[in-house]
Amino acid sequence: MSLAMGAIGGLVLFLYGVHELSQALKAVAGERMKRLIGQATGDRFRGLGAGTVATVLLDSSSLTIILLITFVDAGLATFVQALPVVLGANIGTTFSSQVFAVGIDAYAPVLMLAGFLLRMTMKKHHAKDWGSAIFGIGLVLFGLHTIGEAAEPLKDQPAVTDWLKTMATPVYGIIAGAAITVAIQSSSAMLGIIITLAGQGIIPLEAGIAMMLGAEIGTCADTLVATIGRSRDALRVGLFHLFFNIITVLIGAVLVEQIVAFATWTSDDVAQQIANAHVAFNVGGALLFLGFVRIVGRLIERAVPERMEAVPAE
């Protein structure tokens, strides 16, 4: 009961912190990111960079892609011009996994206090928004720290550790990672939980990487929902995001042994290994697709044609 209450409390704090951070960063940088994305959609490399920067600053690949969908829906960018930004968003989301792996959660109360004081003492809305962002970061890290402490006794439970080891089978790990990501609606949150539990020795490296691959598919749910009722081009952006993640995850499942070997080579710490694997996988997938965005775009346009106009009866 103590373990369950600690894990639930930590998860609630963590998810609330993710929500607060997302809302605060949207208020602080949302308009700037809209301008950045709008100016970068004409060139694939600028689009890739804009998607990366926007996702780092907004701390959400889903939010970046949803902003992009609204741009395409409004006719401010074409479907094909938007695709490099989607690839950049996948790179940008790896920044948070590196932050989680560094292990600065012990200082979370300092960030929470600083953010709280800014919110309470500053009169300007911009300063208050920054206070909310700092408070959100602290709350996210504190929630992860609470989850890690609550889950620590699990590593002495053979039944739990044996079950988690089955997640090392790519199919099981991918399904579990995708399902949990859809449930909590954030791939960054999912990676944070995976990295935290791996750092506690509860999740082995192979299982963590398999679940990381699943999180890449699960994150597509939000962007697909955002395309409902929008133009065909907006729908194509959401489908490209799903198609890109499914193809790269399938490649990752085939090359999972090589990804594990690379992760092991980069660090001796399991949490850092998973974060490094996340960076390598997402950057590699984005660069692989970057040269083929026009070809893939044409295929999706054929698969999702424009709606046929009704012919009026004479």
- At 158-188, the pLDDT tens digits run 766 677 778 878 889 999 989 888 877 778 7
Most confident of the following: 96-110, 124-138, 228-242? 228-242
CB 100 within 8 A of CB 196: yes
Provide the pLDDT for residue 28: 65
Question: What would the mean pLDDT of 142-148 be, rounded to a whole number?
Answer: 76
Question: What would the mean pLDDT of 50-66 be, rounded to a whole number?
Answer: 81
Q: How far is CA 195 from the centre of its chain?
A: 13
Size of the chain, expressed as the number of residues it contains: 314
- CA distances in angstroms from 254 to 5, 170, 191, 217, listed in the order given: 38, 9, 21, 16
pTM: 0.81
Interaxial angle between packed helices 205-218 and 270-290, expressed in degrees from 0 to 180 and rounded to the nearest 10: 40
Question: What would the mean pLDDT of 188-203 be, rounded to a whole number?
Answer: 84
311: pLDDT confidence band, cut at 50, 70 and 90?
Answer: very low
Please state, in angstroms and rounded to a whole number, the distance separating the CA atoms of residues 265 and 271: 13
Please state, in angstroms and rounded to a whole number, the distance separating the CA atoms of residues 18 and 137: 8
- CA distances in angstroms from 182 to 21, 259, 273, 310, listed in the order given: 19, 24, 24, 37
Provide the pLDDT for residue 314: 47
Q: Residue 310: is its pLDDT beyond 50?
A: no
Question: What would the mean pLDDT of 113-133 be, rounded to a whole number?
Answer: 83
197: pLDDT confidence band, cut at 50, 70 and 90?
Answer: confident
Q: What is the mean pLDDT of the chain?
A: 81
Q: Residue 123: is its pLDDT beyond 50?
A: yes
pLDDT cut 90: percent of the chain above it:
20
Where does residue 75 fall: left (phi above 0), alpha (psi -120 to 50 degrees), or beta otherwise? left
